Structure 1
Amino acid sequence: MAFFLTVISVLLLCQFLFTIWNMKQFPVLKPASFSPDERISLSILIPARNEEKRIEACLQSIVDQRLYPKEVVVLDDHSTDQTRAIVERFSQTYPWIRVQSGRVLKQGWLGKSYACSQLAEATASDWLLFLDADVRLKRGAIEAVHEQLCTQKTGMLSGFPEQKTGTFFEHLVVPMMMFTIGCHLPVKWVRKSKNPAFAAAHGGFIAIEKNCYHDIGGHEAIKDSLVDDMALAKRVKEQSFPFTLASIHPFVYMRMYESGQEVWE
């Protein structure tokens, strides 16, 4: 019995040490170190359905940036609340923000993938940055992203924002995302290996270069995937495009849920 407990303890210690080491392998999105002489066009694309509680803060965090994207397109996916009206109010002050009406869901598609596909059709920018409505950008975020994308040239960038929590169930569940990644997915292999098994992404923040996006088939290629962010990341790696999974918490934060009920659902 003592031998068995010793083995278990050693294994747990190894797992603990691996997790600490593994978490330190995440590349961290850093402040821009240069004035962006090399310019890439960047479109921020936000699918939104009944997001009146979240969309205003999301858009405000974008217009508070020092460097603006080429455009912000919000897809109003048949909202029944004030989502559209809030976006239109922003567009009166910032003409590069616009709202687009979502089409009726096609058979065989899941909702978010279809919304993102429509957003991608609506822009011709060099890079597409898909954000969820509950994502907030801190000061300097677009400059930092811009520098990373200029360096990377093509492929995909995704990352884990700082997670804000309030209720007991949020404290219990939300940290499990990073815990799962840290314990089981070798972060170095995500960057270096072409094997799609070593892929992870956060659907709230995905930047993808337009040629890469079209070459992998866009969201149409993953239209029925329940975990669309992971499916997109795997296709990027399968086609040997550069893929970066980063810690973006210095510049991006979000609160995924605002009650125990939302966590449960």
Structure 2
Amino acid sequence: MSDGVLDRALLVLGCFHEDAPDLTAAQLAECTGLAVSTLHRLLATMIERGLLVRLPPHRYAVGARLWELGELSPLSLRLRETALPHMMRLYEATGENVHLAVLDGPDPASSDALFVGRVTGRSSIPTVSRMGSREPLHTTGVGKALLSTRDDVWLEQYFHRKLEAETTLSITAEAALRADIELARVRGFATTREEMTLGNVSVAAALGRVDDLPPVAIGVVVRLQRADERRLAPLVIQAAKDLRDELSITQ
């Protein structure tokens, strides 16, 4: 693909998101602003290369080739594959959702928690996160844990953004969130209480610096009625330490 075609292909791929995993040609034309004839030629090429797949009736979705390439990312090959046994042990010890996330974004003002791993079971409380989803840093346990790893210069830029409330209990005031971040640093773990989803509590810990990987955090999400921080926090902290130690050995 030429640079121009590549730019247009990325424009098409950028139209897909969690709430729109498959789209019609008309929706893609509206999203991209491309001429219909140009778009149809581009879609044919992307299908041929495996970047898109056609679904009935007359819809398009991300192709298997992109998934195949994504699995070659260090976030999959190195981080997630190494983390899975640790996540399973944490799940077996708690019976709760286990999440693995990294800090991702071009700059502090547009950074999110990118979820790269998840272990769940039948008795685990439903959550909005999934592998590959992006969630706010300020309303998720792993997100707050990631914020606790950032310095004052980074945080100053981060707080230039408007923090949206996900629930009525979300913390969006800078002073209150800074206090939560500092508490997470002191205790070694972060918490959210019904700040992303009502009825859910999260306990998470950051791994600390790992060479050649973005900041990483691991955490559990539990029902409010089962949220015993005194039991969960040591388990999460130990999982983060064990994972960091293994990643440091295998780098």
Q: TM-score, normalised by structure 2?
A: 0.27
Higher relative contact order, chain-length normalized (CA < 8 Å, sep 6+): 1
Q: TM-score, normalised by structure 1?
A: 0.26
